[in-house]
Structure 1
Amino acid sequence: MVAARPAVETVWQWLSAVLDPEIPVISVVELGIVREVAWREESLVVTVTPTYSGCPATEVISADIEGALRAHGIEQVRIETRLAPAWTTDWLAEPAREKLRAFGIAPPGRRDPPLSPTGPTQRPGRVLDIRSLDAEAAPVCPHCGSAHTRLVSGFGSTPCKSAHVCNDCLEPFERFKCH
C-alpha cells in the first residue's frame, strides 16, 4: 500500500520546525530562505535561496531539511538552490525579527518599499545603491533598547552579521545585516 502524499501546506508546517543552524531561534521558513515546496512526479522538491551565495550553512540547512522530511516519511526529497532573485532581509518574517531581538541580535531595518520575494530585484527606473544597504541608522541595542550604539566591525560571528556595542549598557551585540 502506498501512503498518501502529504499536502504542501503540511510540508510547510514541518519545515517551520527546521531551525537555522547559525541562529537557532528562527526557522528556515521564518528566515525566508525556503522559497518553494512542490511535488514533481514522485519527488518533493524544496527550493532554497541562501542568505548569500557563499553562505557556509547552506549545506547544513539542506541536510537538516532533507532529514526532517525523511523523518516524516518522505523518501524522495530534492533540495534545489535558487540564487535569483537574491535573498533579502525583507523576506524575514515579522516574528523572526522579534526572536532575533530576544536572542540578542539586532534585527535589520526595512527598506521602503521592501523588495518583493517574487518580483525582480531591480524595479524599472530605480537604481539600487548597494553602498546604502548598511548605511541606515545605528541599530537599537537588543539588551537595553538604546539607540546610542556603535559599529565595532563590519563582520560578526557569521558573514551575515556585523558586530556592535551599546554605548549605554556597554553590552556587545550583533546585527543582522541588511541586504
Structure 2
Amino acid sequence: MVTVLADARRARRIAEQVPDPELPMLTLADLGVLRAVTTTPEGTVVADLTPTYSGCPAMAEMRAAVAARLQDAGYARVEVRTVLDPPWTTDWITPEGRRKLAEHGIAPPGPAPRPAPGPVPLLLSPVRRVVPCPRCGATDTEETSRFGATSCKALWRCRACREPFEYVKEI
C-alpha cells in the first residue's frame, strides 16, 4: 500500500509539470485542470483532467501530453480520464498560476460569479467589470473584443499605458 501511495505522489509530481497548450506559462496544475492522479494496485496510473469549458479544443493535447510525460517517466500503463463534475471554474487557478498570468501580460480572472438562489435575472446590458492592467496596474481599461485567441480569453486595452492585453474570463 505504501508503494502505491508513493508511486501516486511521484506520478502526480510528473503530471503537475505538463504545460497548458494554450497558456504555456502555466502548468495543468497551475490552471487547476489536473484533478487527481492515482495508481491502481495493478500499476496503472490514472490521471483525471477537467476541461476549462465543454468542447475545449486543447483537451486532446492535454490528455496526450500527460500520457506521454508519464510514459516517458517509466509508467507503462497510463489512463487519462476527462472528469466533468464538478465543472471547472477559474477559482481553481492557483495563486502561482495567477501570478504567472500577470507576469506574462495576461490579466488573471477575479472570483467566479456565484448564482443567487431563486430565479435567474435577465440582464440586457453587459456586466460592467473593472479589469486592472497587468502591465501598469491601472483600472482605466476597456474591453475591445469579448473573444481573444481562445474562447476563455477576452481582449482589453489600458487607457493609461495604452497597451493591449488579454484577460482570462471568469467561469
Task: Identify unmatched segments of 5+ residues in structure 2.
Answer: none
Instruction: Kindly indicate whether residue 2 of structure 2 is the aligned counterpart of residue 11 of structure 1.
Output: no
Distance 1:144 1:129, change over 3 A: farther
CA distance in 1, matches of 2:96, 2:18: 15
- Alpha-carbon distance between aligned partners in 1 of 2:106 and 2:121, rounded to the nearest angstrom: 22
Bigger CA drift: 55-64 or 11-20?
11-20
Task: Supply the distance in 1 between the matched residues of 2:161 and 2:23 (Cα, whole angstroms).
Answer: 23
Which of 147, 154, 162 aligns to 1:170? It is: 162
Amino acid at match of 1:175: Y
Given the alignment, which residue of 160, 168, 178 partners 2:152? 160
Q: Which residue of 1 aligns with 2:39?
A: 39
Aligned partners of 1:160 and 1:24: how far apart in 2? 15
Contact kept? 2:98, 2:108, Cα under 8 Å: yes
Q: Structure 2 vs 1, CA of residues 42 and 131 (structure 1 numbering), >3 Å: closer, same or farther? A: farther
Looking at structure 2, the residues matched to 128 and 164 of structure 1 have their Cα atoms a distance apart, in angstroms, of 31
Seen in structure 2, the aligned counterparts of structure 1 residues 130 and 62 have a Cα distance that, compared at 3 Å, is farther
Aligned residues: 165
SS of residue in 2 equivalent to 1:80: strand
- CA distance in structure 2 between the aligned counterparts of 1:175 and 1:112, rounded to whole angstroms: 16
C-alpha offsets along residues 35-85 of structure 1, whole Å, 9 cap, x if unaligned? 111113331110100000111100001111011101110010011001111
Using the TM superposition, give the Cα deviation of residue 10 of structure 1 relative to its aligned residue in structure 2, in angstroms.
1.6
Contact 2:147 2:153 in 1 (8 A): yes
* Coordinate RMSD, CA, aligned: 2.3
Runs (5+) with no aligned partner, structure 1: 114-121
Aligned mates of 1:19, 1:131 — CA distance in 2:
38
**1:126 and 2:117 aligned:** yes
How does the TM-score come out when normalised to structure 2?
Answer: 0.87
- Once residues 178 and 161 of structure 1 are traced to their aligned partners in structure 2, the CA distance between those partners, rounded to angstroms, is 9
Q: Which amino acid is the alignment partner of residue 131 of structure 2?
A: P
**1:7–1:129 Cα change, 3 Å:** farther
- After TM superposition, what 4+ stretches of structure 1 lie above 6 angstroms from structure 2? none
Q: Distance in 2 between matches of 1:174 and 1:166?
A: 11
CA distance in 2 between partners of 1:147 and 1:16 (Å): 33
Where does residue 116 of structure 1 map in the other structure?
none
